[in-house]
Each structure stands twice: as structure tokens, then as C-alpha cells.
């Protein structure tokens, strides 16, 4: 018997692996792989759905007009296709959101990671989680019917329009605080205690240790968190559709109503456009632009996390 089933006889080169294949296990593994491949299929599907109508769009509308003009009105007559107004609106709302979210989110992360006692953490973590779980249409409602009238009362000289980029941007900022906070906190928690202890041993205070040691050590994770938050802000739809409006005039003034790329897609998609018409294809052209912008940022962020995550382990 021992001769028939030699476990690893040293030097013979035989392995401990089973002698006959287990087909059941192989089938299960194939099934699991198939489930994982659904995600690849999703990406392929998104790209497939975007590419064809986008190419058809650019056969009808020149790239020069798309990127070379500042008049945007694909749904009205005569139709104009200069994409800059909605790109500028997207950038502006993203910028306002980042100005709100980066300081607040980072401060929250430093507090939770460096200062908070377990009891305090247990209280504030769910607050951030609940904030992250509020549907964005609710934020939109709050911006439209609470924040805008409030800002109008406090700053009457701003001449805020009923829908405006400022309120929408502020609420998008609140929306992305949990993203900045939780990802930054994860990377700060990964900073080994030896670094903090070394800093304390040299006489640094807790504040100096947090700012000069922990934050720089967790920098790649923090940058990844901010990039991800930017990408979320740029693609946010419901807040800007409700509180930012659909008007697309080329302007940098955030007190005006302005439509972002996502808001345009929502507005055009909600109308019943016939397949194959130019306005229908415009949805996909703008969608491609939005997808490329966010895809590049997400990819960069994911690479950054993947590359620098386990530096200290």
C-alpha cells in the first residue's frame, strides 16, 4: 500500500497533491470565477454602450464644435453642442464640494484616528455612516428648500438664484465628507505606532505628531481618498439636478443656476427621446466624457491604494 500511495518521498519529486482530479471542485471554482467576471462584463458593457452612439454623435457634430464652442443647448432649437458650460459647471461644483469636504473630512479622520477614545469613536463612526447612507435626492431637497433660502437671508447681496451652483456644491461637499474621512482614517490607522512613539520620544506634542508624522506617513491614502471624493462629486446627479438646475449658460458665477454634465444626462434621459436622434446620442457623448474623467481618477486612486497600502506591514 505504501508503495502505491507514496506521500512525498523526499527526493522523488512527488507532491502531496491529490492523485486524481476532483471535478466537482473544479466546476465550483469555474462558477466562482464566472461570478467575478461579471464585474469585467459590466465594464465592457458600459464601454460598449457608450462607444457606438458616441461615434455616431461625432459623425453628426464635429469635435471642433463640441470642444470649441461655449453654447450648449442640444435639446432646444436651433441645437448647439459646445460642451464647455456643463464642464465648467461640473468643475465648479466639484471645487466647492472639495473646499468643504477636505478640511472637514481630514479633521474628522485625524480626530477619530489619533484622539478619540473608543467610546467617542463608537458614537461618531455611525454618524458618518448614516451621513454616507442619506440618499442624495434628500440632500438635493435640503439644498433647494432650506439652504438656498437661508443663504439668501444671510447674504442678500449675492443675488442667489432659486437654483444655484453654490448650494448644490456645498451639499455635494457634505455628501463626500464620509468618503474623505473613512478612507483617510483607514490609512492613518495603518501607520505603525513606532512612528508615533518615536515622535513623542523626541518631545513632539500630539498635534505635531499628528500633523508632521501621521499625516505625511498616510499621505498616499489621503490623496487616494480625495481623488475618489472628487470623482464622486463630479458624477453626483440628484443634488445638482434638484438644487443646481438645468440651465446651461457659460458662466463662472456660482450664484447662477447651472447644469453639470450629470444633470444634463438626467434631464435629457428623463425626456422620452427616440433612439437614434441626435439629442439621444448627446446623452452618450456627455456620458463618455464623464465616464472617462471619473474612470481616470478612480483608476489613479485605486492604483495609489494598491501600490502604497502595505508599506509598513
Partner 1 sequence: MAILSTPASTVRLASQGRPLKEHLFRIALLASLAIAMIFLVVLLVYVVTQGWSRLDLNLIQNFPSLRAVNAATAGVLSGIMGTLWVVALTALMALPTGVLAAVYLEEYADKTKWYNRLIELNIANLAAVPSIVYGILGLGVISRGFGLGPSVITGAITLSLLVLPIVIIAAREAIKSVPPSIREGSLALGATQWQTIWRQVLPASVPGIATGSILALSRAIGEAAPFLLLGAATLVRFNPDGLDSSFSVLPVQIYNLITNSRPEVQVVGAAAIVVLLAILLLMNSVAIWLRNRYQKRW
Which among 9-17, 69-77, 144-152, 251-259 is the span making contact with partner 1, rule CB under 8 A?
Answer: 144-152
Report the residue from 61, 174, 214, 217 that binds partner 1 according to the rule CB under 8 A: 174
Burial label, 124 (beta-carbon count in 10 A; 0-12, 13-18, 19+): middle
Nearest to partner 1 of 25, 197 (CB atom): 25
Q: Which is nearer to partner 1, 68 or 198 (CB)?
A: 198
Q: Which of residues 8, 43, 62, 159 is near partner 1 by CB under 8 A?
A: 43
In the numeric block, which cell numbers belong to residue 271? 425626456
Answer for the pair 177, 108: CB distance below 8 angstroms, yes or no: yes
Min dist. Cβ of residue 285 to partner 1 (A):
11
142 binds partner 1 (CB under 8 A): yes
Q: Name the minimum Å distance from CB 43 to partner 1.
A: 6
Q: Which of 61/128 has CB closer to partner 1?
A: 128
x/- mask, partner 1, residues 74-93, rule CB under 8 A, reads: --------------------
For 260, residues 6+ apart whose C-beta sits below 8 A from its C-beta are 86, 89, 90, 93, 234, 240, 244
Residues 187-206: x where in contact with partner 1 by CB under 8 A, - otherwise, as a string: ------------------xx
Nearer to partner 1, 16 or 63 (CB): 16
Nearest CB to partner 1, comparing residues 45 and 68: 45
183 forms part of the interface with partner 1 (CB under 8 A): no
Q: How far is the CB of 82 from partner 1 (least distance, A)?
A: 21
Over the window 268 to 307, marking each residue x when it contacts partner 1 by CB under 8 A and - when it does not, the resulting string is -xx-x--x-------xx--x--xx--xx-xxx-xxx-xx-
Using CB under 8 A, pick the residue from 6, 8, 14, 29 that binds partner 1. Answer: 29
Asked whether position 28 contacts partner 1 by CB under 8 A, the answer is yes
Nearest approach in angstroms of CB 135 to partner 1 is: 3
- Binding positions for partner 1, 102-141, rule CB under 8 A: 103-105, 107-108, 110-112, 115, 124, 126-131, 133-138, 140-141
* 66 binds partner 1, rule: CB under 8 A: no
Among 235, 244, 248, 282, binds partner 1 (CB under 8 A): 235
Q: Which stretch binds partner 1 (CB under 8 A): 44-52, 65-73, 182-190, 214-222?
A: 44-52
DSSP per residue, the chain = -TTTS----TTS---SS-SS--HHHHHHHHHHHHHHHHHHHHHHHHHHHHHHHHHHHHHHS-HHHHHH---EETTSSS-EE--HHHHHHHHHHHHHHHHHHHHHHHHHHHIIIII--HHHHHHHHHHHHHHHHS-HHHHHHHIIIIIHHHHHHH-GGG---SS-HHHHHHHHHHHHHHHHHHHHHHHHHTS-HHHHHHHHHTT--HHHIIIIIIHHHTHHHHHHHHHHHHHHHHH--HHIIIII-S-------TTS----HHHHHHHHHHS-PPTTSHHHHHHHHHHHHHHHHHHHHHHHHHHHHHHHTTTT-
Verify binding: residue 19, partner 1, rule CB under 8 A. no
Half-sphere exposure of 46 (CA within 13 A, CB side): 12
Amino acid at each position: 500500500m505504501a508503495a502505491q500511495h507514496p506521500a512525498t518521498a523526499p527526493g522523488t519529486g512527488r507532491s502531496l497533491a491529490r492523485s486524481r482530479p476532483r471535478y466537482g471542485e473544479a466546476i465550483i471554482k469555474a462558477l466562482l470565477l464566472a461570478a467575478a467576471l461579471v464585474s469585467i462584463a459590466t465594464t465592457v458593457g458600459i464601454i460598449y454602450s457608450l462607444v457606438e452612439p458616441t461615434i455616431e454623435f461625432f459623425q453628426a457634430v464635429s469635435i471642433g464644435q463640441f470642444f470649441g464652442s461655449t453654447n450648449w443647448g442640444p435639446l432646444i432649437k436651433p441645437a448647439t453642442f459646445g460642451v464647455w458650460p456643463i464642464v465648467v459647471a461640473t468643475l465648479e461644483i466639484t471645487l466647492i464640494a472639495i473646499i468643504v469636504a477636505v478640511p472637514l473630512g481630514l479633521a474628522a479622520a485625524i480626530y477619530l484616528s489619533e484622539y478619540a477614545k473608543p467610546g467617542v469613536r463608537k458614537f461618531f463612526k455611525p454618524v458618518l455612516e448614516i451621513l454616507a447612507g442619506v440618499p442624495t435626492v434628500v440632500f438635493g431637497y435640503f439644498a433647494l428648500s432650506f439652504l438656498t433660502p437661508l443663504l439668501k437671508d444671510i447674504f442678500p447681496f449675492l443675488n442667489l438664484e432659486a437654483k444655484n451652483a453654490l448650494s448644490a456644491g456645498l451639499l455635494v461637499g457634505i455628501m463626500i465628507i464620509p468618503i474623505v474621512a473613512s478612507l483617510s482614517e483607514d490609512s492613518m490607522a495603518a501607520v505603525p505606532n513606532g512612528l508615533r512613539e518615536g515622535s513623542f520620544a523626541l518631545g513632539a506634542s500630539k498635534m505635531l505628531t499628528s500633523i508632521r508624522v501621521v499625516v505625511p506617513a498616510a499621505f498616499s491614502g489621503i490623496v487616494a481618498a480625495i481623488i475618489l471624493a472628487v470623482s464622486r462629486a463630479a458624477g453626483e446627479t440628484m443634488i445638482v439636478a434638484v438644487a443646481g438646475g438645468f440651465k446651461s449658460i457659460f458662466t463662472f458665477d456660482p450664484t447662477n443656476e447651472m447644469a453639470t454634465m450629470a444633470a444634463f444626462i438626467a434631464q435629457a434621459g428623463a425626456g422620452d427621446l427616440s433612439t437614434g436622434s441626435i439629442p439621444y446620442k448627446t446623452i452618450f457623448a456627455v456620458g463618455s466624457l464623464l465616464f472617462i474623467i471619473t474612470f481616470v481618477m478612480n483608476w489613479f486612486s485605486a492604483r495609489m491604494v494598491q501600490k502604497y497600502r502595505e508599506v509598513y506591514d
